[in-house]
Amino acid sequence: MPTKEEDFGEWYNETVDKAKLCDKRYPIKGMNVWTPYGWKIMSQIDSFLRREMEATDHDEVCFPLLIPETEFKKEKDHIKGFDEEVYWVTHAGLNPLDVRLVVRPTSETAMYPMFSLWIRSHQDLPLKVFQIVNTFRYETKQTRAFMRVREIHFFESHTCHADREDAERQVAQDVEIVDAVCHDLCLPYSLLIRTDWDKFPGAFYTVGIDTVMPNGRTLQIGSAHYYSTNFSKPYDITYEKEGGEHEFVHQTTLGMTERLLGAVVGVHADDLGLILPPAIAPLETVIIPIFKKDNQEKVMDVCRQVAAALKAAGIRSKLDDSDGRPGAKFFDWEVKGVPLRLEIGGKDIENNVATFARRDNGEKGTVELDSMVPGVRMILQAISANMLEKAKAKQQSFIHEMEDMGAESIPEGQIVKIGWCGNPECGHKFEDKYDIKILGTPYHPENWTGKCVCCGKEGCKPAYAARTL
């Protein structure tokens, strides 16, 4: 098996397989089976999204999977963007359908005809809903588990507002939601307003949420969009103001997918296997008893006590009392990415400690049996902090400033920060010369100006460019 650096793609695929996060042998390419372990992690990520939605007054709903072609085609840019990548239901039973049905690639066109019925007056605003469902896109590129699949586990929130100002406040709130979830996942990310030629079909603007893989390629893990009235006009979503006039609502969406899990694998795993952020690890600690014939009872006793104490404190843990040698157990749980291993043997008990081994950095040490719960909590916090810091430093290391287009090429694995005047022509020239993509301009303004990398104009704001995974 190649290392993470030698061949990211192959390393990634094997890491996913070894940890049994999904089964790719399902007879449709790009539609994978969620195994119990993978699904547990994804469900935990979902629970963080639900937590944030509840805290920000979004209601959970569930809209139908199938969308009539007639509804789907109402917004022109949107259908142009999805025309070549949707699945069509054309028959029911033995008969052709009168109106073909799209298998949702995203739910704007399912939701907005209903929003048009739901919203009457300013008192119905803001409307804030979300759902966690699967979406479907006919990928023609090489598929990759969690990152590029044809059935996609998908979170989407949709909001309607009285005006642009309130809608953009929502985008700002979305950014905080993303921050909270990425923090749980120990994932550094950037927020970049996409170029006009790369925004979501139908959006007024798109804020891309990107993280960086170990090979320096970026991975979009989500996006927030301000739609303005681009959808509310064709779907006729209006509200009556206090004065009686009718206005179109301003809309936003936030979307994130199972790529969050793919990003966790790509960013954190190493050549031994997964390294899971404690917040999403199905098991935060595993306890391995180390005994000889003469002290088995005693060791098992202490292990059981420790397991019970951790469990009572709400720390997800397991005593691995299966047959098999400790070394083999270490290996198995490393592959699965359990953040913290506790070993308890005769000597440990004499010293009133458990030996611990951190999965993130291999560090070993001891924690006192009498203060197991606070001790384990502290180590788990240290693991989370270290994982995030390490990933941030790594992400930063890929970024290089670029002043002009004098260089022949931009090396594979480099993310470049450029000055850009904002003119699409300059943008296209740059992208074409280096076969690279402008990811966008910072959502949070940076205190930086420079010359446009293409036309040389002074005092330009920064943009970032990279090759995407």
- Torsion of the alpha carbons at 321, 325, 329 and 331, rounded to the nearest 10: 180
Q: Does 36 bind a copy of itself (CB under 8 A)?
A: yes
Exactly one of 4, 13, 18, 39 binds a copy of itself (CB under 8 A); that residue is: 39
Q: Does 31 bind a copy of itself (CB under 8 A)?
A: yes
Given the complex with a copy of itself, which of 140 and 396 has the nearer CB atom? Answer: 140
What does DSSP say about strands 285-290 and 317-319: parallel, antiparallel, or unpaired? parallel
Exactly one of 9, 68, 234, 326 binds a copy of itself (CB under 8 A); that residue is: 68
Q: Select from 80, 83, 135, 134 the least CA-distant residue to 105.
A: 135
Site string for a copy of itself, 85-114 (x = CB under 8 A): xxxxxxxxxx------x-x------x--xx
Exactly one of 3, 5, 6, 33 binds a copy of itself (CB under 8 A); that residue is: 33
Q: Select from 263, 193, 230, 232 the least CA-distant residue to 16.
A: 263
Q: Does 79 bind a copy of itself (CB under 8 A)?
A: no
Size of the site for a copy of itself (CB under 8 A): 51
Q: Select from 243, 198, 206 the least CA-distant residue to 222.
A: 206
| CB 93, min distance to a copy of itself, A | 4
Q: Does 314 bind a copy of itself (CB under 8 A)?
A: no
Work out the widest C-alpha separation in the chain, in whole angstroms.
Answer: 86
Given the complex with a copy of itself, which of 103 and 180 has the nearer CB atom? Answer: 103
Q: Which stretch binds a copy of itself (CB under 8 A): 7-15, 62-70, 333-341, 407-415?
A: 62-70
Number of alpha carbons in the 13 Å side-chain half-sphere of residue 373 = 9
The amino acid at residue 390 is: K
* Residue listed under structure tokens 């509804």: 71
Q: Does 134 bind a copy of itself (CB under 8 A)?
A: yes
Q: What is the DSSP letter of 195?
A: P
Given the complex with a copy of itself, which of 23 and 166 has the nearer CB atom? Answer: 23
Q: Select from 161, 82, 169 the least CA-distant residue to 122.
A: 161
The secondary structure of 326-382 as a DSSP string is HHHHHHHHHHHT-SEEEEEEHHHHHTTEEEEEETTT--EEEEEGGGHHHHHHHHHHH
First-residue to last-residue Cα distance in the chain? 20
| CB 59, min distance to a copy of itself, A | 4
Tell me the C-alpha distance between 175 and 207, whole Å.
Answer: 9
Given the complex with a copy of itself, which of 36 and 406 has the nearer CB atom? Answer: 36
| CB 221, min distance to a copy of itself, A | 20
Given the complex with a copy of itself, which of 52 and 71 has the nearer CB atom? Answer: 71
Which residues would be at the binding site for a copy of itself (CB under 8 A)? 23, 25-28, 31-36, 39-40, 43, 59-66, 68, 70-71, 83-94, 101, 103, 110, 113-114, 117-118, 129, 134, 136, 138, 140, 151, 153
